Structure 1
Amino acid sequence: MSEKNRDGKRTARERLAVEREKQKTAERRRRTLIVAASVVCVLGLASVVGVLAANHGKDDSGSSKAGPVVAPSGATGKDSLAIQVGKDSAKPTLTVWEDFRCPACQAFETAYRPTLHELTDSGQLKVQYHLVTIIDGNLGGTGSKRAANAAACAQDAGKFRDFHDVLYENQPKETDDAFSSNAKLIELAGKVKGLDTPAFQKCVNSGTHDSWVTKSAAAFQAGGFTGTPTVLFDGKNIYADQTMTPAKLKQLVQAANKG
C-alpha cells in the first residue's frame, strides 16, 4: 500500500472518530439539558403542596366555591384526568405528567416528539397526558393553569396534540407568565388549522376546564410525584433513567408490542 493511501485511510478514520465524539458530546449535552431543566421544575415543590391546599375549593377570583369539574371530550383514565394521544388498541402506554410552563417538559418534548409522533401514528403506542400547575405554585402566576385549560379546550375540538406542540414551541421563559393571558393562548391557537373558533375562544375565556385542571394537579400531589415531567412507561418511571433516549424508548415499545 502506498504512503498516500495509508494517509488517506488514516485521515478518514480520524474524521470518523471526530464525528463520533461530536455525536457523543451532543447526546451528553442533551441529557444534561433535560436533567438540569428537571431540577428547576422540582424546586419549590413544597410550596406547590401549600398552594394546592390553600386554593382547594377556590376559583381564580378567590371565591370559596369551585365550578363543576368538566373533563374535556374523550378524557380517559382514573377520574377522566388524562388526555390520550394514540389508539386504544396500542399495547403499551406512556403516561406523562407535565406543565406547559416547565422548561424540563419542553426539553423532553423537543427531544422525544418525533419518536412519539411516529409511535402513536403507527398505532404502536398510546400516550396519556396529565396536565399540572407546578410552576404556578413555584413562581406564582396562572400560566400553567390557563395553558392547561386551553389545551383541554383544544381537546374538545379534536386538536389537542397540535396545540400541545404549539404551546411548547412557543413556551416563554419560566419566569414570564405570558400563558396567563387568554388572548395570547387564543393567538397561538391560530397556528393550528381550524382551532381558533368561537367555541374554542369561549371555552378558553370562561375557564371551562379550570376545575378539571385543579383536580389533575391535586392528583399529581396525591401520587407522590416529585417534579415535571414525570414519564412512566407501563407504570415504570423512565425519565429517571439517565440512559434513556428516544431510540431506546422506541425499542421498548417495539418489544412490548412483540410480547
Structure 2
Amino acid sequence: MSEKNHDAQRTARQRLAAEREKQKSAERRRRTLIVGVTVICVLALATVIGLLAANSGKSGKTSAGPVVAPSGAQGKDSLAVPVGKDGARSTLTVWEDFRCPACQAFEAAYRSTIHELTGSGKLRVEYHLVRLIDGNLGGSGSLRAANAAACAQDAGKFPAYHDVLYDNQPKETDDAYASNAKLIQLAGKVPGLDTPAFQKCVNDGTHDAWVDKSHAAFQAGHFSGTPTVLLGGKNIAQDRTMTPAKLKQMVEAAAKG
C-alpha cells in the first residue's frame, strides 16, 4: 500500500473514531435530559407527559402501513439486504444510517476492500438500515434515504445507490435527505435506476414500515451506535487495531478454510 493510501485510510479511521465519540457524547446529553425530565415529572406529571408526546413526534414516529421488505431481503424478518455470494465463508453485518457521518467515515476507509472481497466471493455483507439520526436530531432524512435504498434494492441497484448516498451525504444537521426529490435526483447517478417504478416507490414510502422494523431490531440489539459492523460477533468499527488490510487478511484466511 502506498504511503498516500495509508495516510488516507488512517485519516478516515480517525474521523470514524471522532464521530463515534461525538455520537456517544450526544447520547450522554440525551440521557441527562431524560433524567432531568423524570425529576420534573414528580412536580408536574401532566405537563411532562405532554412534552414527551410532542418530542416523540419530532423524533420520527413509526410509519403506518404494511411492512414491505425489498426484493431479495433475507435473514430474520427479512431485514437484511445482502451483497455478495451466499456461500462466502465470512459475513459482515452492517447496521448503518445514511445521515451518520461515522458511517460515511467507515465507508471511506473500507469501501474498496469490501467491494474487492464481495466481488471475489470471499465476503458476504448484510446491510441493516436504521434511522438513528432522525431520533437524535429530528427530521426524516434517515428514514427517507433508507426507504430509497430499499427501492434501489427492488431495482437490483442497491450497492451502487448505497455508495452514491454516502458520496453525497449532507452535513449531519442538514436534513437534506428528507426530500424525496433529492433522493430521486441522486438516483440519476446510477445507470438505469431513475425509473417511474423507483420514483413511485420513493414517493409512496413503500418500505417505510420495513425501515422502522429494522430500526426496532437495532434498538432491541442494544448496539451502542452506528455504524455497528459485526464480523464473527465482534464490532470491528470499534476496534482501533482493525484496518482494511487486516480485514482482508482475516477474510482471505477464512476463505482458505
Question: Which bin holds the TM-score, normalised by the shorter protein?
Answer: 0.7 to 0.9
Distance in 2 between the 1:181 and 1:233 partners? 34
1:104 aligns with 2:86: no
Residue 59 (structure 1) shift:
4.8
1:175 aligns with 2:173: yes
Distance in 2 between the 1:178 and 1:25 partners? 30
Report the TM-score, using the length of structure 2 for normalisation: 0.84
Query: Is the 1:41–1:103 Cα contact (8 Å) retained in structure 2?
Result: no
Q: What is residue 40 of structure 1 aligned with on the other side?
A: 22
Q: Which moved more, 1:30-39 or 1:191-200?
A: 30-39
> Which one of the candidate residues 123, 135, 142 is aligned to 1:125?
123
Q: Output one character per residue of 1:99-138: Cα deviation in whole Å (capped at 9) or x when no partner.
A: 0000000010111111111100110000000001111111
Any stretches of 5+ residues in structure 2 without a counterpart? Answer: 35-51
Q: What is residue 186 of structure 1 aligned with on the other side?
A: 184
Q: What is residue 246 of structure 1 aligned with on the other side?
A: 244
> Which one of the candidate residues 207, 210, 213 is aligned to 1:212?
210
Residue 40 (structure 1) shift:
2.9
Query: Is the 2:147–2:205 Cα contact (8 Å) retained in structure 1?
Result: yes
> Which one of the candidate residues 114, 132, 135 is aligned to 2:112?
114
Any stretches of 5+ residues in structure 1 without a counterpart? Answer: 1-18, 61-65
Report the TM-score, using the length of structure 1 for normalisation: 0.83
> CA 1:110–1:29 in structure 2 vs 1: closer, same or farther (change >3 Å)?
closer
Residue 91 (structure 1) shift:
1.1
Amino acid at match of 2:256: K
Residue 244 (structure 1) shift:
0.6
> CA 1:67–1:231 in structure 2 vs 1: closer, same or farther (change >3 Å)?
same
Q: Which moved more, 1:210-219 or 1:30-39?
A: 30-39
Q: What is residue 88 of structure 2 aligned with on the other side?
A: 90
Superposition misfits of 4+ residues, deviation over 2 angstroms = 22-31, 39-51, 53-60
Distance in 1 between the 2:248 and 2:201 partners? 36
Distance in 1 between the 2:160 and 2:153 partners? 10
Percent of aligned pairs sharing the same letter: 69
> CA 1:182–1:26 in structure 2 vs 1: closer, same or farther (change >3 Å)?
closer
Residue 255 (structure 1) shift:
1.1
Q: What is residue 148 of structure 1 aligned with on the other side?
A: 146
Q: What is residue 38 of structure 2 aligned with on the other side?
A: none
> CA 1:142–1:25 in structure 2 vs 1: closer, same or farther (change >3 Å)?
same
Amino acid at match of 2:136: N
Distance in 2 between the 1:202 and 1:208 partners? 8
Residue 240 (structure 1) shift:
1.5
Residue 258 (structure 1) shift:
1.5
How does 1:10-21 map onto structure 2 within 5 Å? Answer: none
Residue 31 (structure 1) shift:
2.4
Distance in 1 between the 2:117 and 2:175 partners? 33
Bigger CA radius of gyration? 1
